[in-house]
Amino acid sequence: MRAFMVERYGDQAGVQAGDAPDPQVGADDVLIRIHAASVNPLDVKIRDGEFKAILPYRVPFILGNDLAGVVVDVGAAVSRFVVGEEVYARPGKDRIGTFAELIAVHQDDVALKPAALTMQEAASLPLVALTAWQALVERAHIRSGQKVLIHAGSGGVGSIAIQLAKHLGATVATTTSTGNIDLVKKLGADVVVDYRKQAFETVLRDYDMVLDPLGGQNLTRSLRVLKPGGKIISIAGPPDAAFARELGADPMIRLVMTALSFRTRRRARRHRVTYSFLFMKASGDQLRELTRLIDAGEIRPVVDRVLPFEQTREALAYVEAGHAKAGKVVVTMK
């Protein structure tokens, strides 16, 4: 099969198109012919080796973290899917590889594609929608009447998180650029801060939760908008000890992650709030919950552009350079 593989860590030149063996199908696996896959900032970070200490993929390996396609084979123990069904998925972190014609995914990580969506639209969702669900529902337990700040509201995660937070009954604030103000309002944002004109921490107060996909000073400044007891959840880091435990990391890696997040956690304590790092996990069950919301019109995908599979490297470069104006970039197979 054709695939885009990381042949060496470091930069765009390390990703090359080539032929790879067709996947082997385990007893619990669903073999999917991929129709579309989306490009995420995570793909760029993996390509550059930023996660080598915790996700030690052996080169060469196929890149890509979410997909939509059609089931073409199932393992002997598969009970949830049959050949011919349209599905979408975020493979488990140890089994990535969606920039390819085929992939074998554990049945627990797969869900039927939302009926209302095209393959390209469906492929844009699994990673970002699961991230939003795990932050807002699983970890923060957002409920009606609470106030949530979602940074980068026009981005892949932000555009879905705004819609999910509104479904949960929250009052939603977001940050974005001038050109995307109308978009985030249409997605449901109640309060919009143009980060080029205002410092969000000077106008927002007493929020229950912040979802931060940016990290750095943005994370530090966000501590000021939370009320005592509030939560800040970052998908940009720094990683913490709880994440190391989830990974089953060895004691040395746990110590390193604890050290990396020490200053952030200390600042959070001073503000009487809590900090946690989220690295989303695959879940077919959660995708099915999201599918119900998508088919009901509560959540809709936001796609910036669609490129042919042959231009996967260009799609990665486009995302890396920050050219996407809103939502996701998708590559599609013929």
Q: How far apart are CA 244 and CA 238, in angstroms?
A: 12
pLDDT for res 111: 98
Nearest C-alpha neighbor of 219 from the set 277, 136, 290: 277
**pLDDT, tens only, 233-257:** 999 989 888 888 887 777 888 888 8
pLDDT for res 243: 85
**pLDDT, tens only, 144-178:** 999 999 999 999 999 999 999 999 999 999 999 99
Give the architecture (CATH level 2) of 2-125+301-332. Alpha-Beta Complex (3.90)
Domains of the chain: which residue ranges?
Answer: 2-125+301-332, 127-277
**pLDDT, tens only, 316-329:** 999 999 988 899 99
Rounded to the nearest 5 degrees, what angle is found at the Cα of 108, between the Cα atoms of 106 and 114? 105
Non-local (6+) Cβ contacts of 98 within 8 A are 34, 37, 62, 63, 64, 65, 66, 67, 91
**pLDDT, tens only, 123-149:** 999 999 999 999 999 999 999 999 999
The residue with greater pLDDT, 53 or 66, is 66
CATH class of 127-277: alpha beta
